[in-house]
């Protein structure tokens, strides 16, 4: 098991800052963020055989799992969303999220912020509430006092606009 | 608000509804029942639902908006312990044993005790975890060279041959029966890579992040067999810090090591190795 442990150490050293930064942005809590990173690596370990380089980079894969775990933890903390029963927690913790192929490899933070800045405020807000705060569409609608259908449209249109912008930068 | 979340029948959800929910789906912002309904539809629908893939392609970019923050130092041990517990729960009983690094060098690189697996009975079948090691190491390889591999493909005119050797190296790494080693320069955390020796006797060495060799020196790779070094060739570091080497190992090669030698190389090592990679089976 030495080689795989070494591999995990290497992955940790390379990506811990990005993963912890994302988890902190989502949870705003150092302890929960550490839990998210730890759970993400356990998920990585268990699901390494499912990783496909054809679908996404290692970084994207790791960040997707981290996001998934962090969102799950903040939702459990809020407990306003219907969540799996306690007995299903272990299985849920091992769930592999959808991992999306990157629209662009030019994904430095300035580029993405620029793409985000092109969005109308309401679209940007809806995307941020979903991605960085883990709010569901119902919670976003309540938070922004907007109809559900409007939230669907804002998120869809916002992501479409960002995609076009990021593609143009390729 | 004029509308409300209605229960979505996983059988009746339509392609149009999936399209409407696509943005929230890729952001994982649907209620659990809706998410399950969309996932079930995508799993069975004959339509490609390109809109889901297209909107999903933006999601990886969002992660880069969160500034990196170094995790508390204690988290590293905590993570590795948690994974070790997972591995222990699934693995056969290991027997601890110490290993002596091959070679005549006093490397200064000590290797911790490494578990030896109990010999398996003839009827034993590898459990699911048996492939984890190879899978995890393959992930590391791709983490190290994956993006670079794509990069050099874009500069095919200058790096086509290197890209081909790299592809062969990764293939050898994943082949059943190959022996592999992760390579690290303990003095330079930016330099790492791997070695792979295929069952049919091809050897590959890939290093990433090596600086140029000091003036008047070159990097030289060595096969270690029966504690004796045999030159594997000089390692040329390209401008982007990558080096790839292919060759044939000597019989009984147990490890691959790198040394710094005078320009032109040496017949025998004249310095202590700065990278030592002990070869071992890629998978159980």
**Phi, psi for residue B178 in degrees, rounded to 5:** -75, 155
Q: What CA–CA distance (Å, rounded) separates B49 from B47? A: 6
Label each residue of A41-71 as H, E or C: HHHHHHHHHHCCCCCCCHHHHHHHHHHHHHH
Size of interface A-B (CB pairs under 8 A): 266
Name the residue among B33, B57, B282 with its Cβ closest to that of A102: B57
Question: What is residue B160's predicted lDDT score, i.e. its pLDDT?
Answer: 60
Please report where in the chains the tokens 């405020």 appear, as a residue: A121
* Complex-level ipTM: 0.87
Considering chain A, what percentage of its residues have pLDDT values greater than 70? 75
**Interface contact A45-B3, CB threshold 8 A:** no
Q: Which carries the bigger pLDDT value, residue A40 or residue B145?
A: A40
pLDDT of residue A106: 57
Subunit contact A100:B53, Cβ cutoff 8 A: yes
Q: Do A136 and B75 touch (CB under 8 A)?
A: no
pTM score of the predicted model: 0.62
d(CA A123, CA A131): 12
Is the Cβ pair A68, B180 closer than 8 Å? no
Of A20, A45, A156, the CB nearest to B23: A156
| pLDDT for residue B175 | 72
Chain B residue numbers with beta carbons less than 8 Å from the beta carbon of A11 are: 139-140, 143
Tell which wins on pLDDT, A31 or B168: A31
Give the closest-approach CA distance of B149 to chain A in angstroms.
Answer: 12
In tens, the pLDDT along A66-115 reads 999 999 999 888 865 555 444 444 344 445 567 777 766 556 788 888 88
Tokens of A6: 């070494």
Whole-number Å distance between alpha carbons of B282 and A163: 39
CA dist B44 and B265 (Å) reads 60
With CA atoms as reference, the chain B residue closest to A4 would be B133
What span, in angstroms and rounded, lies between the C-alpha atoms of B206 and B187?
Answer: 18
Distance from CA of B208 to the nearest CA of A (A): 13
Cross-chain Cβ contact B30/A41 below 8 Å: no
pLDDT value at residue A47: 73
A38 touches chain B (CB under 8 A): yes
Residue B218's pLDDT is 93
Q: Taking the CB of residue B225, how many other CB atoms lie within 10 A of it?
A: 17
Mutate to test the interface with B, among A30, A108, A146, A156 (most CBs of B within 10 A): A156
Residue A28 sits at the chain B interface (C-beta within 8 Å):
no
Cα B221 from Cα B243, distance rounded (Å): 11
The whole-number pLDDT of residue B200 equals 86
* Contact residues, chain A, for B140 at CB < 8 Å: 6-7, 10-11
Interface test with B, best of A24, A26, A28, A45 (most B CBs within 10 A): A45
CB atoms near residue B31 (< 10 Å): 18
What CA–CA distance (Å, rounded) separates B207 from B235? 9
Mean pLDDT for the stretch of residues A109-132 = 93
What is the tally of helices (H) and strands (E) in chain A?
Answer: 8, 0
Distance between start and end Cα atoms, chain B: 58
Residue B136: per-residue pLDDT: 61
Q: Which two tokens stand for residue B19?
A: 């399209």
Residue B225 is classified by DSSP as E
Residues in chain B: 284
In this structure, the number of other CB atoms found within 10 A of the CB of residue A86 comes to 7
pLDDT digits (tens), chain B, 284 positions? 444 455 544 446 899 999 999 999 999 999 888 888 888 888 888 888 999 999 999 999 999 999 999 999 999 999 999 988 876 665 543 333 333 333 333 333 333 333 323 233 333 233 333 345 555 666 666 665 543 343 333 443 345 666 667 767 777 776 778 888 888 887 887 787 888 898 888 898 988 778 888 899 999 999 999 888 999 999 988 776 678 888 889 888 999 999 999 998 999 999 989 999 888 886 53
């Amino acid at each position: 098991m030495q080689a795989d442990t070494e591999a995990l150490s290497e992955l940790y050293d390379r990506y811990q800052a990005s993963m912890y930064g994302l988890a902190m942005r989502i949870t705003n809590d150092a302890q929960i963020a550490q839990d998210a990173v730890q759970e993400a690596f356990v998920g990585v370990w268990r699901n390494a055989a499912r990783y496909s380089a054809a679908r996404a980079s290692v970084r994207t894969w790791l960040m997707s799992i981290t996001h998934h775990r962090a969102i799950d933890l903040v939702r459990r903390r809020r407990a306003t969303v219907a969540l799996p029963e306690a007995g299903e927690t272990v299985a849920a913790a091992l769930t592999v999220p959808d991992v999306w192929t990157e629209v662009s490899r030019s994904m430095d933070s300035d580029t993405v912020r620029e793409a985000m800045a092109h969005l109308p405020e309401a679209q940007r807000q809806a995307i941020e509430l979903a991605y960085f705060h883990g709010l569901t569409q119902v919670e976003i609608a309540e938070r922004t006092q907007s109809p559900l259908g409007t939230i669907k449209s804002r998120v869809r249109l916002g992501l479409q606009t960002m995609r076009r912008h990021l593609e143009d930068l390729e | 608000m004029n509308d409300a979340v209605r229960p979505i029948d996983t059988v009746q959800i339509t392609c149009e509804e999936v399209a409407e929910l696509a943005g929230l789906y890729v952001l994982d912002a649907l209620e659990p029942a809706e998410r399950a309904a969309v996932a079930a539809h995508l799993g069975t629908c004959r339509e490609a639902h390109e809109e889901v893939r297209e909107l999903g392609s933006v999601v990886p970019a969002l992660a880069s908006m969160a500034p990196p923050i170094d995790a508390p130092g204690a988290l590293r041990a905590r993570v590795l312990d948690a994974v070790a517990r997972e591995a222990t729960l699934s693995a056969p009983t290991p027997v601890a044993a110490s290993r002596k690094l091959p070679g005549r060098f006093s490397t200064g690189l000590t290797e911790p005790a490494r578990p030896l697996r109990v010999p398996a009975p003839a009827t034993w079948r590898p459990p699911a975890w048996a492939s984890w090691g190879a899978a995890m190491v393959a992930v590391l390889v791709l983490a190290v060279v994956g993006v670079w591999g794509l990069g050099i493909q874009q500069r095919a005119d200058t790096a086509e041959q290197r890209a081909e050797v790299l592809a062969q190296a990764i293939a050898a790494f994943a082949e059943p029966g190959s022996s592999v080693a992760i390579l690290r320069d303990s003095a330079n955390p930016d330099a790492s890579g791997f070695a792979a020796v295929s069952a049919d006797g091809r050897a590959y060495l890939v290093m990433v992040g090596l600086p140029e060799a000091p003036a008047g020196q070159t990097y030289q790779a060595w096969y270690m067999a029966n504690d004796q070094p045999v030159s594997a060739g000089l390692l040329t570091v390209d401008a982007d810090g990558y080096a790839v080497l292919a060759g044939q190992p000597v019989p009984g090669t147990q490890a691959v090591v790198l040394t710094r030698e005078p320009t032109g190389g040496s017949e025998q090592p004249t310095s202590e190795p700065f990278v030592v990679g002990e070869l071992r089976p890629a998978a159980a």
